[in-house]
Structure 1
Amino acid sequence: MDNKAVVLGANYYIGLSTIRCLGIHDVHVAAVDYSWEGAYGLESKYVSEALIAPHYKKDPEGLLSFLIDYSKQQSKTPVLIPTADPYVEFVDEHLMELREHFLIPQKEQGLYTKIMDKGTLHTLASEHGVAVPETVHIDEENFLQKVEEKIQFPCLVKPVDSPAFVSKFRRKLFKVFTEEELLEKVNMAKEENIEVIVQRIIPGFDDHMYTFDAYLNQYSEVTHWVTCQKLRQFPVNYGASVYTQQKYVPELYDLGKKFLEGIQYKGFAEIEFKKDEQTGQFYLIEINVRITNLNSLLYKTGINMPYITYRELTGNPVEPKAVEKDMNLVFWYAYEDLLAVREYVKTGQLSIQKVLASYFRPKAHAIWDAKDPKPAFAFGKKMAGLVAGKVRKTS
């Protein structure tokens, strides 16, 4: 394992699970973040080098120079794995320069960004025969009339660029119930220079959300895949997975494979679908082009996406594999799941009895690992500090 793996992002559990998935195979992991504060992934025993680099947003040129300088010091070309959307955007913007110094699955500059952009993603999906929710762009003529006729209320105001929207509003979207509310949210986004679209709500509770997680080799062929079903998310109804089960759904393979291979994608991708509870049709909602929140669950099913990436790019690919049965495994991000459960119960969407019954299953934890406990303790310390800060602010 002469090639090192450079993991971008260690202040969230996605980066942590990526570090672990590589480290358990004795890959030399250089974990990169912009600050020691809150970067609990750097505490993992699987981190061979902990590196503090310039901020991707405040000093992107500095980060680019930092990474290139690091690569030049190595005897073998390192593998580069971004674990958060802003790092993916950074890699995509500088792809040609970075590919001269790192092993990266994607070769087409701009494809990551095109997929992360809701507008261009929907165009691509339609071109490849994958259904997407009915959408109206706010710059269309008579857009309010089109919303009334094509979408109706309530509906969703969603960002074209999710990272910028989440950074500003601390949520993934706005749900609106009236024309007045729609205009208010659209104007809020305009004031922040954030482009948004209006979209129909696909009927169905949160357990109608599914994922197709796949790795595509350098020939844009799906070699590894697994499907999952969300059970709970946070924020509730329109958030990230906090309690999700592996669930074999062959129809998602047919849809996901056709689309990803059709756009000549390479590397890891996760397509989120929602199943219409009335028609049974699956709609493509979004695609994650960085390692997924569910990475620890995929690993427990036998699909180690970071290591699959590493092995293929270093010339020793892992044998193809798919999970084609239900393994009774669930992903659990305990901290946010507890917050979600409180909201689900409060709004009458779930009962306490149903929630408690769901917990008696083997789990893939977001942060906790008995063989690598230090990150969990560091996360606990971080959360305790946040609570203490709120208490001081209140008093």
Structure 2
Amino acid sequence: MAAMNRSYVIILANGLNGLGAVRSAAHAGLKTYTLLTAQSDLSAYSRFSQYRFLLPLNPTVNDIRPILDQLNNNEGGPGVLLACSDFAAELLGKLKKEGYSNQHLIVPTTETTEVLNDKKLECQYMEQGGITLPKTFYNLEEDVPETFPLIIKPRTFREYKVLGAKNVIIHSLAELDEFKRSFHAHLDQFIAQDVIQGGDDNLWVCNVTFDQNQELSACFVFKRLGTMPSHYGVTSLAISQNNQALREECAKIGKALNYTGPAMIEFKKDQYSDTYYYIETNPRLGMCNWFDTRCGINNILACTQAAYGNRVEFAPQRNNFVYWNFFGDLIARLEDRENLLAIVFRYIALLRRRRIGALLYWKDPQPALRYAKASITDIAQRVGRKLRERFG
């Protein structure tokens, strides 16, 4: 324990991912430094984010290296760098490729990060490794899918701006032709996949850590119950449930990728065949890492121990706990035109379970208050627009 008291982490924070990581680090008793690209980031409002550095909006390794060197000198040794976004994961990969050693880099190789941050390369790699994927189309200029719906995905996070969203659902050949006309100059920046049949509760997520021997040292499994946007977005409602088959699949993926560090691995279970299809691996901390911690699996602690070459043992995860981003989930369901009464009954049913708020934490209330204010303003504006459309 004395060794852990001298440990510290440096979190490249981003939104809910970063806030959860800061809280999880504090929960583990780790001294934490937070690197932010915006003063308005949720982590900036956390009482646990006491030591903060503001970076440029799109930082480079040259922007963060002096800070890391300074912290090494101040603390008398290296801490552990943790990424909370795809962009931050790329930065850490570049540092690792340069041989940077003033801080511990518990991250996959640059080559692995580049593969996982490009959906085309990732899916091709997984197919070659024998991982079960939805049917995938890599050449939208020439490929002619026979079944719908399809999900169109940008190859990297940089193409989100091109598409204007994280993905687009195509329901017919006519819609696909229209998409091709609209994005004819960018078709090589997307892939398409069959949509696996099943509701949100067929979506599974594993937040994991692989140690420096590529062994699965921590794994937290949950089933999604809601996403924002609905059906094809990030987690807004979930329940912790162990799944040994997915644990084994994660261990297999880690070995195939020669992977070290934190990752978020997603699957979807086909409602007809009970087959689990691989969706993606994000080479960074998962967005719901605070959920992991509250259910007994602290992936931030696991990463820190792995970086220092120590083993970490967790008790079995606590199951049937509910993760709830109330405002995010409510907005997503309203946008999806879900029946209001059904939403109310769903939420009432959740009250009988132990709930973990995505933001609400009584020891750290300020981020939730800020998020709630922004969400209420957003809902009011949406309602106002609907009323103006309806009544002129």
Normalising by the smaller structure, the TM-score range is 0.7 to 0.9
| Equivalence for 1:42 | 44
Aligned position for 1:97 = 98
- How much has 1:203 moved relative to structure 2? 0.9
Matched, 1:237 2:231: yes
| Displacement of 1:139 | 5.5
Take 1:126 and 1:193, find their aligned partners in 2: how far apart are those partners? 21
Residues 1:180 and 2:135 aligned together: no
Paired residue for 1:85? 86
**Does structure 1 residue 155 correspond to structure 2 residue 150?**
yes
Aligned residue for 1:356, secondary structure, equals helix
Deviation at 1:93, TM superposition (A): 3.3
Shift of 1:166: 3.0
Counterparts of 1:347 and 1:393, CA distance in 2: 19
Say if 1:164 and 1:194, in contact at 8 Å, map to a contact too: no
Question: What stretches of structure 2 of length at least 5 have no aligned partner?
Answer: none
Partner Cα distance (1:90, 1:349) in 2: 46
| Change in 2 beyond 3 A, CA 1:392/1:120 | same
CA contact (8 A) 1:186 1:196 kept: no
- Report the CA distance shift for 1:352/1:379 in structure 2 as closer, same or farther (over 3 A): closer
Correspondence 1:328 to 2:313? no
**Per the alignment, do residues 389 and 89 of structure 1 end up closer, same or farther by CA in structure 2, a change over 3 Å counting?**
farther
Could you tell me which residue of structure 1 aligns to residue 20 of structure 2?
17
**Could you say if the C-alpha distance between residues 139 and 386 of structure 1 is closer, same or farther in structure 2, counting changes exceeding 3 Å?**
closer
Q: Tell me if structure 1 keeps the 8 A contact 2:116–2:281.
A: yes
Partner of 1:377: 369
Which residue of 1 is the match for residue 34 of structure 2? 31
Provide the rounded CA distance (Å) in 1 between the counterparts of 2:344 and 2:267. Answer: 27
The residue number in structure 2 matching 1:5 is 9
TM-superposed deviation, 1:78: 2.1
Q: Secondary structure at the match of 1:23?
A: helix
- Match for 2:246 among 243, 252, 255? 252
Pick aligned residue for 1:358 from 331, 350, 367? 350
Determine the C-alpha separation between the residues in 1 that align with 2:242 and 2:341.
25
TM-score (norm 1): 0.87
Aligned to 1:93, the other structure's residue is in SS state: helix
Q: Which residue of 2 aligns with 1:127?
A: 128
How far did 1:156 drift? Answer: 1.7
**Number of matched pairs:** 382
After TM superposition, give the deviation of residue 136 of structure 1 in Å.
1.4
Deviations, residues 238-291 of structure 1 (Å, cap 9, x unaligned): 111100001122111122211212221111112111111111111001112211
Q: What are the superposed Cα offsets for residues 296-317 of structure 1, whole Å, 9 maximum, x if unpaired?
A: 2211221000111112213443
Instruction: Tell me what 1:340 maps to.
Output: 332
Which secondary structure does the structure 2 equivalent of 1:110 belong to? Answer: helix
| 8 A Cα contact 1:272 1:286, kept in partner | yes
Deviates more, 1:247-256 or 1:353-362: 353-362
Q: For residue 324 of structure 2, what is the amino acid of its counterpart?
A: W
Distance 1:277 1:7, change over 3 A: same
Q: State the distance in 2 between where 1:110 and 1:282 align.
A: 27
**Separation in 1, partners of 2:294, 2:65:** 36
TM-score by length of 2: 0.87
Q: Is the 8 A contact 2:215 2:255 kept in 1?
A: yes
User: Partners in 1 of 2:381 and 2:342 — Cα distance?
Assistant: 32
What is the root-mean-square deviation in Å for CA atoms of aligned residues? 2.9
Contact 1:274 1:282 in 2 (8 A): yes
Report the Cα distance in structure 1 between the residues aligned to 2:28 and 2:356, rounded to whole angstroms: 18
Distance 2:356 2:51 in 1: 26
Q: CA deviation at 1:168?
A: 4.2
Alignment of 1:280-295 (within 5 A): 280-295=274-289
Q: Is the 8 A contact 1:215 1:269 kept in 2?
A: yes
The secondary structure found in structure 1 opposite 2:212 is: coil
Q: What is the percentage of aligned positions where both structures have the same residue?
A: 21
